[in-house]
Every structure is written in C-alpha cells, then in structure tokens.
Amino acid sequence: MYKLTLIIRYLVKRRITHFAVLTVALCVFIVVVVMTVMSGLVGEFKQKNHAFVGDCVVGTKSLVGFPYYEEFMQTLERTEGVEAVSAVVKNYALMRREGDARNRGVEIIGLDPVKHGQTTNFGQTLYHQAGDVTKAFVPAYEPNAVGCVLGIDLALWRNAQSQYTYDAQPAEIGLILTCFPLNARGAPAGAGSVPVSTKRFQYNDHSHSGIAGIDGSTVYIPLEWAQSLCMAGVLKRVTALHVKFCPAVSLEQGCIRVRTLWDQFRQSKQGASNAGLLDTVTVETWKEYRRAVIAPMEKEEAMLSVMFGFVGITTVFIVFVVFYMIVSHKTKDIGVLKSVGASSQSVMVLFSGFAAAVGVLASCTGVAAALLFLSNINRIENWLFERFGFQLWDRTIYAIGEIPHHAEFSVLAVIVLCAIVACQIGALVPAYCAARLRPVETLHGSRT
Amino acid sequence: MNETSTNKRPLILKAENVHKSYRMGATRVKVLKGANLSVREGEFVAVIGASGSGKSTFLHILGALDRPNEGDVSFDGHYFSRMGARELNHFRNEMVGFVFQFYHLLDELNVLENVYLPAMVSCGVAGWLGTRGAAKARARELLETMGLQDRIRHKPYQLSGGERQRVAIGRALMNKPRLLLADEPTGNLDSATGNGILEVFEQLNRAGQTIVMVTHDERVAHRAGRVITLADGRVKS
Ligand SMILES: Nc1ncnc2c1ncn2[C@@H]1O[C@H](COP(=O)(O)OP(=O)(O)OP(=O)(O)O)[C@@H](O)[C@H]1O
Ligand SMILES: [Mg+2]
C-alpha cells in the first residue's frame, strides 16, 4: 500500500517529477504531430497517385508505343476480376493559345474519357463536366470543335492559400497543339518535309488530380487525336493500358494475372509486323509505375522514422537521468523503507511503478496536447500566414490543400506504449540500484 | 527495573563474536572485533563509547540492517544468518523498531503517515483497506502519548528536532515491536528536550519494552538499567 501512496506523493510533490513528465509529454507531442502530418501527407499522395493511375499499367516508356492493344484490351475485359481497361497515349507537345505566338512544352495524354473514367478517377477530377464524363471533349458552344482538358494549374490561377478562382463556364479559348509524330521504327514521320502535326482544340474543362507534377503540365485530348497527332503508321498504337481490378482482387494477384496474360499474348504475336515493339512493354502495379515520385516521399518518411527513433532513444536517456536523480535523492527513503521491513522487490516495484505513472501521465498529456494542436493546425497555419506571411508548405509549390490532421488510433497507441516502455527502461537501472541498496548504506551519513 | 527479576527473564537478543570491518581503499578498517552482548526481555541497555568506536555499526547489526563479517546475532533463538530475505523483512517490520540519530522521516508524508508507515509496508492495497482504521487509531494514540496530537497533519520540515525524534519513536513503536533500538535519540537535542525523550523511554521500559540505546553521553546512559561500553571493537561491561 505504501507504494501507491508514495508514487502519488512523488508524482505530485516533486518538481523534478513534473519536469520528467513535461519532457516525456513533449517528446510524445512532437512524435504524434510529425508522424500524423507526415504519414497523412504520404498517404494522401499515394492515394492520389493510385486514383490517377488505376491499379495496374501495361505500358512502355517508349514514345513509339505498341500495336495490337485492342486485342489485348478485349482479352483483359473478358478476364474475371478486371473491372475496366483504358488505352492511353502519352507524349509531348508544344501548346500555344490561339492568337499568341508563344509556345510552351506540355505532356499530352490521349484517352477515351468514358473508359478512363471507369479505370481511374479522371471523371472526378473534372470541374465543368464532372457530372458527365462523356462530354469531357465536347465543347458546349462549339460542338463541332474538338475539346481538350487542361491540368488545373495550366488553366487557373492558384492563390497563396492553394485556392483556385473557378469560372462558371469554361473560358472560350482555342489551343493549338503541335506534336512530333514518330513512325513505328521510332523515326520522325514524313522526313524531308516539316515533321510536325498541328491541331486546334477548344478548352473545355480542367482536371484536378491533386498531383502537382501532373496538374501543372498535362493536357488531355481524345485518344484518336493523340494517335493521329503523335503516331504515324498504319497500325494503331498506344503507350499504355490502365487496368482497374474488382474490389475483391488484390493488387498483387491481379498484376500477376495480367502479367501472365501479357506474356501469352506477346508469344502469340511473335512474327507479326512490328511485334518487336511488344518487347518494350512491362506490366506494373500503380506503385511501381509511379515509383519515381512516390519513392522520395517514402524515403523521407523512413528517414523521419529513423530520426524519431533517435528522439525515442534520447527520451529514454532523459528519463534515465531524471530517474537516476530522483532515486539518488530518495536513497534515504529507500533506507527508511527497508529498515521498516520493505523488501527489495517492493522497492523495485515502487520505482518502476512510479516510472509507469510518469509514462502514463506524460503520454496522455502529450497525446491530448497533440490532438488539440492537430485539430487546430490548419487554423494556426492560416493565422500565421495572415499575420506573418509564414507558411509551412509553400502552396504555390506544394499541392497540399489542408495539412493532414487525422491521427490514427493504432499509431497513438503505439506511441503511448513506447513512451511508457521508454520510462520503464529509463527507470530500470536506477530502480534496480535502489532495490539492491542495504538500509545502512543509504542512511549512514544522511542527516535529515 | 529490578535486576534480579530481569535476570530470570528469557534472552531476547544475543550477539556473538560480531566482527565488522570496512574497506577504505586498500586498507581495511576493523570496527568491531568480536563484540558480544546478551539482552533479556524487558531490559533497558545503554551502549556508550567514544565517537567512531562502532556503536552505530553495532546497533545496525543488532537490528539486521547490516550484516557482520563474522559472528552472528540471534533474536529469540533465531540466527539472522539463517533467515531468508522474507524473514528478515518480517523481523524488521514486526519485531524491531529503530530510532535513528537523524530521525529519517519521509518528507512527502505527514506526521501521521510517517508513524503508520510500518503498518502500511506490511500489507497490500486490499489488506490496507481492512487495517487502515486500526492503524490510524494506533498512530494517533502514539502521537498523543508523545504530545504531538496537534501536529498530525504537519510535514516533517515543519517540526523541530525534538518533535521529529518523537515522530520517529512513534514510527518505531507502531507495530508494537518486542525490541526498540535507538541510536543517540537525544544526540541532536538540547538537554530539556532530550530529557523528555528519555522519560518516554523510561515509561516504555516500565511497561515492559526492551530497549537498546546508543549514546556517548554518560548521564544519558545512566538512565538505563544497564550500561555497557564499546571500546576497541569489543563490549566491556
Ligand atoms: N559504510 C561505511 N564505510 C566505511 N566506513 C564506515 C562505514 N560506516 C562506518 N564506518 C566507520 O566505522 C567506524 C565506526 O562508525 P560508527 O558510525 O559505528 O561510529 P559511532 O560509534 O556510531 O560514532 P558516533 O558516536 O560519532 O556516531 C567509523 O570510523 C566510521 O568511519
Ligand atoms: Mg553513531
């Protein structure tokens, strides 16, 4: 019983204990806030990439593309577990406004809006045509013209808080795209003459994928137009097939299935004209397909975890020092307790129980403070920006709307547990030393 | 107490050939070199000796707060060297009460809690709920006999030296020990206050309490029934 009484008294009355609680709480606070924000950002970014790509990509890095894709699309569409397939042409072009001589380089994606809308979140990224993806390339007031969709950052201005000024109707702008068609051998088409093809598109909508690199440089046009502008030759080609699996199919299972099908398909096409182009094609999951942009984020997250591992070690050390000090201040108490019959084990329990109490109190305080902070983090950032012009992430560079602030319960539980364990480890050695002391060793020469 | 009557009483404490030395760097300081002592139930024994003669060391060994290098101590015929940790803890908790020269009260506990600390130590949370009432009553009663009934909520730092020593005596008597060991209980007190403490001891002894008290003051020692001298690491009576 004396243990409980003394633990409470040590906790309440000793200033050094308050510092220990504060230190541990601060560490917990920092870890919770940073982990939540960071894993939120990474998670959000991955989710956006997943939504943008679909589940699996059968594609080539080559701009020449690959033929016979329609046949393989049919094979896939017949395959169980495949929900939708969309053929895509990715290429580069120069773009200028009608009446303006200045060109800028853009990436073009040629797609069938309906199929692509079924495979990816393309439909949801649209603004004016969000309700009806079939109209993505059909300008309302100029039905005979061919429409295009611009990445939102090509179409609209973004203010410093990452907010766009939307138009009620798509502005009436004509855009001229100039492409460099390649033939099936990969050579510029029509050598001798000027090897470019040009086409006017009517601006019809903008697409907001939330991925800054995409939204700032991509123009979406109808698939057939991309093919005729960028690819010369009799055989129709595309650069990628995006595949979406049914919810029941796991990413790995689905991709293995597609890979097998693709290998069979390639074998069956051996000897066909331009069959060599099929050899450049790979089957990748969305993660593999977008690894160039995801990997750096994941690396940052991993580095952060390592850094917080060090924070954890520092916490253990701080707790160790604090407890060592508390125990050395309390050797007299240990002597007194032992002289009235307390056992070594119960002294050990007293100090490790005290450490656990510090751990629980501190991590609860830290978590509570962190949750409070996180729930206000966007408000705080806005205030800082309005007042001092300070922004955690420059919204003109980063496509972050709100700072993520949803802490996961499992993560919190792990952090709290780690904090309590850290306190236990930190207190272990001092508690053990305290328990081993013989009563007289501590009482001899102590005069209070 | 009458000497003939105490002689018939049973032996409660017996120290046999107790040796104790401390290592000071390379040399060993021999403090006790074969000290013997027998204490009968109800005796009031004073141990005197020069400063540094090993009185405190001897008393600690008698109270099982330290172990001798050689020799042994028995309580009621049971030798400390043959007792396990659990039995020794039980002995320290129930059989012996120790009054230290420097009081050694716990700063975080108030006067009442300091007194009933030994009762708390010997039981768990559930057991304490059962015995708390009785323990508190006993502690209050002890503090009343020490004249401290108005100070039970005070913290040790709010008390004078004499008051602290009386609290420490209360703590030592809490579990009604059969043996009371006191190390210079009056050493830090003026003669009037020290006299008060000695009166408490005499009163306790009259009620049958066995007491071994260490002091370096001959006048204090003569208040006890028997005086022994510790010199050269041995007991000379
Ligand atoms: N833990 C220890 N380590 C080393 N030496 C010790 C230790 N405890 C006691 N001594 C030494 O043993 C000797 C006896 O000490 P002790 O405290 O028993 O003397 P004492 O008779 O009680 O003296 P005083 O009257 O001043 O209290 C001293 O020389 C002291 O320095
Ligand atoms: Mg002494």
Q: A179-218 pLDDT, tens per residue? A: 988 888 887 876 556 678 899 999 999 999 988 889 989 9
Predicted local distance difference test score (pLDDT) of residue A234? 80
Does residue A319 sit in the same domain as residue A358?
yes
Best mutation target among B98, B104, B115, B132 (most A Cβ atoms within 10 Å) is B104
CA–CA separation, A27 vs A329, rounded Å?
25
Domain membership of residue A51 (yes or no) is no
Does residue A390 sit in the same domain as residue A430?
yes
Predicted local distance difference test score (pLDDT) of residue A194? 60
- Checking if the pLDDT of A50 tops 60, the result is yes
What average pLDDT does the segment B61-90 reach? 94
Does residue A38 sit in the same domain as residue A109?
no
Order of strands, sheet of B11-24, starting from the edge strand that comes earlier in the sequence: B27-40, B11-24, B70-75, B78-79
Please tell me the distance between residue B35's alpha carbon and the centre of ligand 1 in angstroms: 15
- Comparing A42-51, A162-171, B33-42, the range with the smallest average pLDDT is A162-171
CA angle A230, A235, A239 (to 5 degrees): 50
Q: How many CA atoms are closer than 13 Å to the CA of A163, on its beta-carbon side?
A: 3
Residues of chain A with C-beta less than 8 angstroms from the C-beta of B128? 1
The 10 Å CB-count burial string (b at 16+, else e) for A96-123 is: beeeeeeeeebbbbbbbbebbbbbbbbb
Confirm or reject contact between A437 and chain B (CB < 8 A). Answer: no
Domain membership of residue A249 (yes or no) is yes
Judged by CB atoms closer than 8 Å, whether chains meet at A440 and B65 is answered as yes
Q: Would you say the CB of residue B22 lies under 6 angstroms from ligand 1?
A: yes
Domain membership of residue A289 (yes or no) is no
Confirm or reject contact between A15 and chain B (CB < 8 A). Answer: no
Residues of chain B with C-beta less than 8 angstroms from the C-beta of A10? 108
pLDDT digits 0-9 by tens, A344-363: 999 889 888 988 999 999 99
* Phi, psi dihedrals of residue A394, rounded to the nearest 5°: -65, 115
What average pLDDT does the segment B181-188 reach? 88
When pLDDT is cut at 50, 70 and 90, the band that residue A375 belongs to is very high
Predicted local distance difference test score (pLDDT) of residue A395? 66
Residues of chain B with C-beta less than 8 angstroms from the C-beta of A341? 89-94, 118, 121-122
Q: Which atom of ligand 1 is nearest to the CA of B51?
A: 25
Predicted local distance difference test score (pLDDT) of residue A192? 57
What average pLDDT does the segment B65-73 reach? 94
Domain boundary among A225, A253, A280: A280
Of A1, A13, A443, the CB nearest to B108: A13
Q: Would you say the CB of residue B216 lies under 6 angstroms from ligand 1?
A: yes
Predicted local distance difference test score (pLDDT) of residue A446? 55
Judged by CB atoms closer than 8 Å, whether chains meet at A341 and B56 is answered as no
Minimal C-alpha gap between A360 and chain B (Å) = 20
- Residue whose entry in the numeric block shows the structure tokens 């002894």: B205
CA–CA separation, A53 vs A71, rounded Å?
21
Q: Would you say the CB of residue B52 lies under 6 angstroms from ligand 1?
A: yes
Of A332, A340, A448, the CB nearest to B93: A340
Does residue A85 sit in the same domain as residue A234?
yes
Judged by CB atoms closer than 8 Å, whether chains meet at B93 and A444 is answered as no
Task: Provide the residue count of chain B.
Answer: 237
CB pairs under 8 A between A and B: 82
Query: Amino acid identity of A261?
Result: L
Judged by CB atoms closer than 8 Å, whether chains meet at A1 and B106 is answered as no
Does residue A95 sit in the same domain as residue A182?
yes
Domain membership of residue A285 (yes or no) is no
Domain boundary among A217, A245, A280: A280
Of B100, B108, B113, the CB nearest to A10: B108
When pLDDT is cut at 50, 70 and 90, the band that residue A445 belongs to is low
Q: Which of B175, B171, B153, B169 is nearest to B211 (CA)?
A: B169
Ligand whose nearest atom lies closest to the CA of B28? 1
Does residue A328 sit in the same domain as residue A386?
yes
Beta carbons of A244 and A120 less than 8 angstroms apart: yes
Confirm or reject contact between B69 and chain A (CB < 8 A). Answer: no
Confirm or reject contact between A344 and chain B (CB < 8 A). Answer: yes
Of A1, A444, A446, the CB nearest to B120: A1
Does residue A240 sit in the same domain as residue A102?
yes
pLDDT digits 0-9 by tens, A259-268: 999 999 999 9
CA distances from A377 to A24, A364, A369, A381 (A): 21, 19, 12, 6
Confirm or reject contact between B70 and chain A (CB < 8 A). Answer: no
Predicted local distance difference test score (pLDDT) of residue A184? 83
Report the residue among A438, A443, A444 best suited for mutation to probe ligand 1: largest number of ligand atoms under 8 A from its CB: A444
The 10 Å CB-count burial string (b at 16+, else e) for A230-261 is: bbbbeebbbbbbbbbbeeebeeeebbebbeeb
Q: Would you say the CB of residue A444 lies under 6 angstroms from ligand 1?
A: yes
- Residue whose entry in the numeric block shows the structure tokens 């090509």: A154
What average pLDDT does the segment B199-204 reach? 91
- Checking if the pLDDT of A223 tops 90, the result is yes
Minimal C-alpha gap between B79 and chain A (Å) = 17
Report the residue among B22, B32, B65 best suited for mutation to probe ligand 1: largest number of ligand atoms under 8 A from its CB: B22
What average pLDDT does the segment A313-330 reach? 79
What is the residue range of A299's domain?
2-46+295-447
CA–CA separation, A206 vs A210, rounded Å?
12
Q: Which atom of ligand 1 is nearest to the CA of B58?
A: 18
Please tell me the distance between residue B35's alpha carbon and the centre of ligand 2 in angstroms: 16
Confidence (pTM): 0.76
pLDDT digits 0-9 by tens, A120-130: 999 999 999 88
Q: Would you say the CB of residue B233 lies under 6 angstroms from ligand 1?
A: no
Average pLDDT, chain B: 91
Does residue A27 sit in the same domain as residue A69?
no
When pLDDT is cut at 50, 70 and 90, the band that residue A385 belongs to is confident
Domain membership of residue A394 (yes or no) is yes
Domain membership of residue A164 (yes or no) is yes
What average pLDDT does the segment B11-16 reach? 95
- Checking if the pLDDT of A447 tops 60, the result is no
Q: Would you say the CB of residue B31 lies under 6 angstroms from ligand 1?
A: yes
Judged by CB atoms closer than 8 Å, whether chains meet at A9 and B108 is answered as yes
Domains and CATH numbers, chain B: 3-236 (3.40.50.300)
Judged by CB atoms closer than 8 Å, whether chains meet at B92 and A333 is answered as no
- Residue whose entry in the numeric block shows the structure tokens 């006790």: B32
Domain membership of residue A389 (yes or no) is yes
Predicted local distance difference test score (pLDDT) of residue B4? 52
Predicted local distance difference test score (pLDDT) of residue B68? 95
Domain boundary among A247, A280, A313: A280
CA–CA separation, A90 vs A240, rounded Å?
8
Beta carbons of A188 and A181 less than 8 angstroms apart: yes
Does residue A130 sit in the same domain as residue A19?
no
**E-state strands within B100-166:** none
Axis crossing angle, helix A344-375 with helix A377-388, rounded to the nearest 10? 60
Higher pLDDT, B1 or B99: B99
What average pLDDT does the segment A5-26 reach? 88
Minimal C-alpha gap between B3 and chain A (Å) = 31
Average pLDDT, chain A: 87
Predicted local distance difference test score (pLDDT) of residue A305? 82
When pLDDT is cut at 50, 70 and 90, the band that residue B6 belongs to is low
- Checking if the pLDDT of A79 tops 80, the result is yes
Please tell me the distance between residue B31's alpha carbon and the centre of ligand 2 in angstroms: 12
Minimal C-alpha gap between B37 and chain A (Å) = 21
- Checking if the pLDDT of B3 tops 60, the result is no
Q: Which of A431, A434, A447 is nearest to A335 (CA)?
A: A434
Predicted local distance difference test score (pLDDT) of residue B81? 95
Predicted local distance difference test score (pLDDT) of residue A399? 60
Q: Which of A220, A240, A230 is nearest to A86 (CA)?
A: A240
- Comparing A16-25, A109-118, A187-196, the range with the smallest average pLDDT is A187-196
Query: Amino acid identity of B188?
Result: N
Q: Tell me which residue has its CA closest to atom 30 in ligand 1.
A: B52
Neighbours of B179 (CB within 10 A): 23
Confirm or reject contact between A448 and chain B (CB < 8 A). Answer: yes
Predicted local distance difference test score (pLDDT) of residue A257? 93
Domain membership of residue A53 (yes or no) is no
Alpha-helical segments (H) within A54-102: 69-78
Does residue A245 sit in the same domain as residue A196?
yes
What total number of domains does chain A contain? 2
Does residue A90 sit in the same domain as residue A237?
yes
CA–CA separation, A217 vs A92, rounded Å?
10
Residues of chain A with C-beta less than 8 angstroms from the C-beta of B75? none
pLDDT digits 0-9 by tens, A263-314: 999 999 988 888 889 999 999 999 999 998 888 888 888 888 888 888 878 8
Does residue A179 sit in the same domain as residue A202?
yes
What average pLDDT does the segment B63-83 reach? 94
CA distances from A19 to A122, A314, A419, B2 (A): 53, 15, 15, 60
